[in-house]
Amino acid sequence: MSDEMDEIWSLYADDGAQALDAMETALLALDPDDGASDDGAPDAATIAGLFRAIHTFKGNARVLGLGVIESCAHLAEDLIGLVRDEGKPFDRAMHRLLVETGDALRQMLEISAASRQDADPALCADLLARLRQKVETTRSGAVDEAGAGDAGPDAPDRSRAPDAEGGESAAPDAAASVSDAPSQAVTPVAVDMAYLAIFHDMAEAALATCAAADDAASRRALADLAHAARQLGLAEWLSLLDPLPSPLSPDALAALTAAMRALLDRGDAAPPPTAPAVAEADAPALAADGRPGSGGGPAPDDFLTRIEGPLSAIARHAIDLSVAERPDPERLAEAVALVVAEAAARGYPRIADTCDLILAAGTPATLRRAELQLYEELASVEVIERGAASAQGPASILAGWCADHVFDTLDEMGATLDRLKRAESGDAATRALSRLTRLIHHACRFYGLDTAAQLAMSLLDLFERGQTSGRPADAILLRIAQGFVTTLELVFDALREGEVPDTTRLEQLFAEASEISFTASGLLTATAVERRLGLPPEFHRVLSPDSVAAASQALAEGLGFWILRADVNDDEQIAERLFGFIGAGAIRAITNVTVFRGRDTLFDFLIASALSEADLAEALALMDPGGGRLTLMRRLEVAAGPEDGAPAAGGEADPGGGAGDGPADPAQSVALAGDIPIEMLERIGEIAAGQAMVHGMIGDLVEEDPSARIDEFLRASQRDSAAAAAGLRRYAEDLGRRLRALLLPETQILGQMGELQQMAADRRARPLDVVLRPLGALVSAEARNRGADVRLTVSGGELSVDVAQLETLKRVLRPLVLALTAGTPPRSPARRMHLSARRGEDRLAVTLDDSGGGAGTAAAAVDAAMREVERTGGDLRQVDLPGGGTRLHLTLPISLVVMQGMVVGVGGVRYVLPVESISGILQPEEGAIRRLSAGGGDEILRLASGAILPLHRIAPPWRDGRPEAAGRVIVTLAHFGRSVAVPVDEVVGQQLVLLRPLRGLMARLRGLTGVALLAGGEVGMVLSSAVLCGADGPDTGRPGREGPAEGMGCPRASAGPVPDWRMEPTGLR
Amino acid sequence: MPHRVMIVDDAAMMRLYINSFIKGMPDFKVVAQASNGEEALHRLAEGAEVDLILLDIEMPVMDGLEFLRHAKLKTRAKICMLSSVVVSGSPHAAKARELGADGVVAKPSGTVSHDLEEKIGDELARTMRVLMAA
């Protein structure tokens, strides 16, 4: 034994004696027979001093491998810990037992210091048993014979913070027996500063011995130090000391001692300054009464507080297992059961699962892994329940442990990567990598190496994905991972040396890992795409290899790029339209980011398209007629890339040029995107079935031969007509019944046809915004290109019209507003245009107000528009406004409207009156109709109420306005406050009619809205109630007429203008 | 008995697509859906029994990572992140792993994933089965 070891043993003896002195002093102060309190509430400071004294003694014994002595001290420590941390009563029995223990420890100290051997277990077996018994009874709170506690074993142990036990370890070969376990000694998660301090002293002593140049003594000192390092799990020290250089030449010794000095000087024998050493000082804050939970600390029912005792027991079990002592499985099971019960009460099933792993662990290494896993779970609990990790909490303990063992972990990771490289045990190696990278991650967090911590998790992710997909780790990933290990070794080495580490390489590796999927695919990197598009930074995180490939392709094709905001999460219809549009290829959705607006989720799409901005805006308006759901946020200016010689894509807008070579007309593609809805198909099916039934009934009737039947009756009655009459009557009645039976299905068919018409018309209906709104974008784009300030606003875009009419409007308005905008000189005063739309009974009226210098510069466009409008039966007028500017009035006949019409007959001709305008149907009393001689022969109808209505007799134009109605029935109509009485010969009935616009000459007839095919195949002329009532004008969508209409072969009513539907050219007025 | 799946995604269309995709997998069945993490936690608290959670990240009210933090304690169900922001090597993917995500699959972005099956169907199905087999 070297002098130095003598010194250590001497130190052990001295320190131990001092500790026992302190223990005695404290026990004296606590003696219940000497005036100390016996009420179970001893002086907290004295108790704390007593605890520290025993704890110090225990640590010294452990470092020298004196297990029996340590166990005795350990139990005493446990006992006083119950008083200190749980407020258990300090009773006489406990006092006596501790005094006895102090005496025994002093005796054992003297023997061990002299013999340098542990105490004989037999000598203290009884004391150990009684101490263990007392601990259990005190913990349970039961009363023993001595008046102290003694009862059931099941109460939870919350005596202390996570155990302060340091690193008793198993022999190296015990750990090495597990394939992927590190080769160094196994230590429990918690670390004890006290033991490290003792080790520090031992190391100083060993250095002093080596300096004395006594080879044998140096070897002994170093061997003893290696033993202690192994017990504490100090891998770096072990790597220096085990094995010792042989021979231990002066040079080798000098190098070794220099390395030892370096380790000592940087404080390597103790945890880093911020490391959470879990000793008594790290226990939860104690209140004056010695109970945890007050003074701002965790609440007493805090989960982590409640399981401190069991955690301590688990840690102790780990120590026992690692030092090859016979651990107490029942005690472990009890501790685990407590943790499981607490976890179950909180609804933490995974903690219970991890506890199962602890129970199942048969080796120190597997137990350590399970313990680490438990601490990971507990770290999550800490964040959830306490809001953040604390310096003494499980997250810190875990991180501290990982930091202390990081070199071992890195070694193991390096070896595992080598195995993967050689394609050995792929799955097992990947699982090991996942575990190791997590440990490294915690170590990095401990040192504040955030990039490295994140990189560790990125590597874990990449390896895990590879494993899930069944792909072996590729060379790039392995290279990055190995670079990570090598770099981290240097970084941690620098940290241990107290230097500032160079983390540049880590940053590079992180960038490589971020781009690994692109690099592996041989694509442009995400960074390159971002740079060329000037992509907003929020898109960085969603650029996948797929999206980068799509963007690269779009760049190569010279497409334009936009950011499109879609608020479609709660509008399935618009979402379907958008996806249909994307599916049709009109635009390419490269990627998207999520944007939150309150509880709403929006998407910002990066899109590429060959469409011009105006066409794109128009397409969006088609999909989102109401506006606000699909918005073009901005156009991205594409920078020319060195990768290609192509011109910058999408740089030029094409405001007037249409879609060019791009996809089909977006309006059309949207219009055609939907299929015929199932309701329409069902209705068609019903009509077909009804029609088949009618066909069958008619066929039966056709097969009837009335002549033959009459002959039969006559023959049967022997030509007695009177006798035949009864039979003939029955036959006629039967025929009548069968004919009447036809009416029911026929009526049903009529109804179904009407519904079908309505559905078809609805399917073709689109809001005007589809055309009007994009004009705003179109004008703005064109004005921007010309350096002018022109803006176009719209109103009335919500009106719904047939797509054919929309197309007409688009053909008319688009070149018109473009021509007007083009006529605006650069830097001229701001020009404002406003489009407003109204819908009349049979016409659509659109007004374009232009504050600019008149339409003179766009005369050609106006003329072209007029021709187009006239071709479709519409009307375009231009008016100069008094304050400057121009107003264009445009009217178009509404096409394909389904309406409820009342079919009436006048002079053998069928007419249809809009049901919504009918205010009454009556039979006039005698004298109710009068002719006003003063009114130029106009007729009036006096109603029973005394009200007077102008009478308008309708007549077809080919009869030159001569009224033909007999006037047996009067239909009164009302429209916009004006009323009129219309005599008819008969009221046929109400039906849904599909109004068809008039063509050719018929289109010029005023008062006729259109024609409709009526039931039975007749054609009915649909009359305009607005014209009949003389209410046509700006509000009705019809070209306004100043003053009452001229007569047309019928007298003009005195109460207002009389409608006129003579053949009258309309055209441009 | 098929594995029970909960879909947590704020995009209604996405839930629809995933649901539709899973209907094609006889060994899985969607038993619950939620439009954010908070709602999903309520589903679990109400007793929804699930074996696998397919979890988006970017959601209002409570995002997927925060949900993951809670759910890893509260349920034994495997949790697979299915999000457009978990591209390989991305910070979100790393964070998801740090918080204990069992699987990570980057769903296609750009079309709100109506092409989900076409682009990642194989990967998603494989990941789901690997997680359930683990």
Write out pLDDT tens, residues A280-334: 333 332 223 333 333 344 555 688 888 888 888 888 787 777 766 677 788 888 8
Mean pLDDT value of segment A899-925 = 86
Taking a C-beta distance cutoff of 8 angstroms, is the pair A372, A398 a contact?
A: yes
Q: Which of A696, A855, A810, A687 is nearest to A755 (CA)?
A: A687
Query: CA–CA distance from A613 to each of A397, A635, A638, A755, A819 (Å)?
Result: 59, 8, 15, 39, 18
Buried b or exposed e, range A207-227, using 16+ CB within 10 angstroms = bebbeeeeeebbbbbbbbbbb
- Mean residue pLDDT of chain A comes to 74
pLDDT in tens, A635-654: 888 876 554 443 333 333 33
Taking a C-beta distance cutoff of 8 angstroms, is the pair A1032, A978 a contact?
A: no
More confidently predicted of A196 and A447: A447
Q: Are B123 and A469 in contact (CB < 8 Å)?
A: yes
Is pLDDT of A170 > 70? no
Taking a C-beta distance cutoff of 8 angstroms, is the pair A1010, A995 a contact?
A: yes
Query: What is the pLDDT, as a whole number, of residue A1068?
Result: 25
Query: What is the pLDDT, as a whole number, of residue B39?
Result: 95
Mean pLDDT value of segment A661-690 = 58
Provide DSSP, A385-419.
Answer: HHSS--TTSHHHHHHHHHHHTHHHHHHHHHHHHHH
Q: Are A517 and B88 in contact (CB < 8 Å)?
A: yes
Taking a C-beta distance cutoff of 8 angstroms, is the pair A61, A73 a contact?
A: yes
Q: How far is B101 from chain A (nearest CA, A)?
A: 9
Query: What is the pLDDT, as a whole number, of residue B71?
Result: 93
> Which residues have C-beta within 8 Å of that of residue A211, sequence separation ≥ 6?
A257
Q: How far is B127 from chain A (nearest CA, A)?
A: 6
Choose the weakest-confidence range: A13-27, A949-963, A980-994. A949-963
> Which residues have C-beta within 8 Å of that of residue A376, sequence separation ≥ 6?
A398, A438, B100
- Residue in B105, B112, B116 to test binding to A, most A beta-carbons within 10 Å: B112
Q: For residues A882 and A851, give the distance between their C-alpha atoms in angstroms, rounded to a whole number.
A: 11
Q: How far is A452 from chain B (nearest CA, A)?
A: 11
Is pLDDT of A1051 > 50? no
Query: What is the pLDDT, as a whole number, of residue A346?
Result: 84
Q: Which of B12, B61, B95 is opposite residue A569, by nearest beta carbon?
A: B12
pLDDT in tens, A178-194: 233 333 334 444 444 55
Residue A661's pLDDT band (cuts 50, 70, 90): very low
Strands (E), A9-61: none
Q: Is A481 touching B (CB cutoff 8 A)?
A: no
Q: For residues A167 and A192, give the distance between their C-alpha atoms in angstroms, rounded to a whole number.
A: 8
Query: What is the pLDDT, as a whole number, of residue A519?
Result: 54
- Residue in A375, A431, A461 to test binding to B, most B beta-carbons within 10 Å: A461
Q: Is A820 touching B (CB cutoff 8 A)?
A: no
Q: How far is B8 from chain A (nearest CA, A)?
A: 14
> Which residues have C-beta within 8 Å of that of residue A725, sequence separation ≥ 6?
none
**Residue percentage of chain A with pLDDT more than 90:** 3
Query: What is the pLDDT, as a whole number, of residue A47?
Result: 86
Report ipTM (2 d.p.).
0.90
- Residue in B62, B109, B117 to test binding to A, most A beta-carbons within 10 Å: B109
Residue A152's pLDDT band (cuts 50, 70, 90): very low
Query: What is the pLDDT, as a whole number, of residue A325?
Result: 64
- Residues in A touching B126 (Cβ below 8 Å): 468-470
Backbone angles phi, psi at A363, to 5 degrees: -130, 160
Is pLDDT of A1069 > 70? no
Is pLDDT of A62 > 90? no
- Residues in B touching A463 (Cβ below 8 Å): none
Query: What is the pLDDT, as a whole number, of residue A528?
Result: 75
Residue A966's pLDDT band (cuts 50, 70, 90): low
**Residue percentage of chain A with pLDDT more than 70:** 76
Q: Are B106 and A544 in contact (CB < 8 Å)?
A: yes
State the distance between the two ends of chain A, measured CA to CA, in whole angstroms.
Answer: 126
Query: What is the pLDDT, as a whole number, of residue A641?
Result: 59
Q: Are A464 and B104 in contact (CB < 8 Å)?
A: yes
Q: Which of B85, B100, B112 is opposite residue A541, by nearest beta carbon?
A: B85
Residue B113's pLDDT band (cuts 50, 70, 90): low
Is pLDDT of A1044 > 60? no
Query: What is the pLDDT, as a whole number, of residue B29?
Result: 95
Query: What is the pLDDT, as a whole number, of residue A1002?
Result: 61
Query: CA–CA distance from A272 to each of A159, A162, A424, A441, A736 (Å)?
Result: 27, 19, 37, 17, 110
Q: Which residue of B has its CA nearest to A383?
A: B69
Q: For residues A785 and A250, give the distance between their C-alpha atoms in angstroms, rounded to a whole number.
A: 86
Q: Are A569 and B94 in contact (CB < 8 Å)?
A: no
Residue A874's pLDDT band (cuts 50, 70, 90): confident
Is pLDDT of B38 > 90? yes
Is CATH 3.20.20.80 the right assignment for the domain spanning B3-133?
Answer: no
Query: What is the pLDDT, as a whole number, of residue A640?
Result: 67
Q: How far is B94 from chain A (nearest CA, A)?
A: 5
Decide: residue A856, CB within 10 A, 0-12 exposed, 13-18 middle, 19+ buried: exposed
> Which residues have C-beta within 8 Å of that of residue A454, sequence separation ≥ 6?
A510, B91, B94, B95
Q: For residues A782 and A786, give the distance between their C-alpha atoms in angstroms, rounded to a whole number.
A: 6
Taking a C-beta distance cutoff of 8 angstroms, is the pair B80, B6 a contact?
A: no
More confidently predicted of A666 and A746: A746
pLDDT in tens, A1016-1035: 667 888 888 877 887 554 44
Mean pLDDT value of segment A135-149 = 59
Query: What is the pLDDT, as a whole number, of residue A1036?
Result: 43
Query: What is the pLDDT, as a whole number, of residue A424?
Result: 62
Query: What is the pLDDT, as a whole number, of residue A442?
Result: 92
A999 alpha carbon, distance to own chain's centre: 55
- Residue in A458, A480, A543, A629 to test binding to B, most B beta-carbons within 10 Å: A458
Structure tokens at A853: 């210098």
Cis peptide upstream of residue A1057 (ω within 30 degrees of 0): no
> What is the value of pTM for the model shown?
0.45
Return contacts of B119-125, CB within 8 angstroms, 24+ apart: B119/A546, B121/B21, B123/A468, B123/A469, B124/B21, B124/B82, B125/B25
Q: Is A575 touching B (CB cutoff 8 A)?
A: yes
CB atoms within 10 A of CB A498: 10
Decide: residue A776, CB within 10 A, 0-12 exposed, 13-18 middle, 19+ buried: buried
Query: What is the pLDDT, as a whole number, of residue A271?
Result: 37
Q: Are B70 and A384 in contact (CB < 8 Å)?
A: yes
Q: Are B89 and A458 in contact (CB < 8 Å)?
A: yes
Residue A35's pLDDT band (cuts 50, 70, 90): low
Residue B66's pLDDT band (cuts 50, 70, 90): very high
Q: Which of A457, A465, A589 is opposite residue B98, by nearest beta carbon?
A: A457
Query: CA–CA distance from A747 to each of A381, A700, A735, A741, A754 (Å)?
Result: 73, 19, 19, 11, 11
Query: What is the pLDDT, as a whole number, of residue A1032?
Result: 55
Taking a C-beta distance cutoff of 8 angstroms, is the pair A781, A741 a contact?
A: no
Mean pLDDT value of segment A737-759 = 82
Residue A1045's pLDDT band (cuts 50, 70, 90): very low
Q: Are B84 and A542 in contact (CB < 8 Å)?
A: yes
Choose the weakest-confidence range: A73-87, A148-162, A489-503, A778-792. A148-162
Taking a C-beta distance cutoff of 8 angstroms, is the pair A82, A313 a contact?
A: no
Q: For residues A592 and A600, give the distance between their C-alpha atoms in angstroms, rounded to a whole number.
A: 16
Choose the weakest-confidence range: A444-453, A693-702, A850-859. A850-859
Choose the weakest-confidence range: A100-104, A418-422, A791-795. A418-422
| Parallel, antiparallel or unpaired: strands A886-893 and A875-880 | antiparallel
Provide DSSP, A653-719.
Answer: --SSSTTTTSSSPHHHHHHTTSPPPHHHHHHHHHHHHHHHHHHHHHHHHHH--HHHHHHHHHHHTTT
Is pLDDT of A143 > 70? no
Return contacts of A452-457, CB within 8 angstroms, 24+ apart: A452/A484, A452/A488, A452/A491, A452/A503, A452/A506, A453/B98, A454/A510, A454/B91, A454/B94, A454/B95, A455/A484, A455/A506, A455/A509, A455/A510, A455/A513, A455/B94, A456/A484, A457/B93, A457/B94, A457/B95, A457/B97, A457/B98
Mean pLDDT value of segment A726-749 = 86
Mean pLDDT value of segment A737-747 = 85
Is pLDDT of A176 > 50? no
Taking a C-beta distance cutoff of 8 angstroms, is the pair A1051, A939 a contact?
A: yes
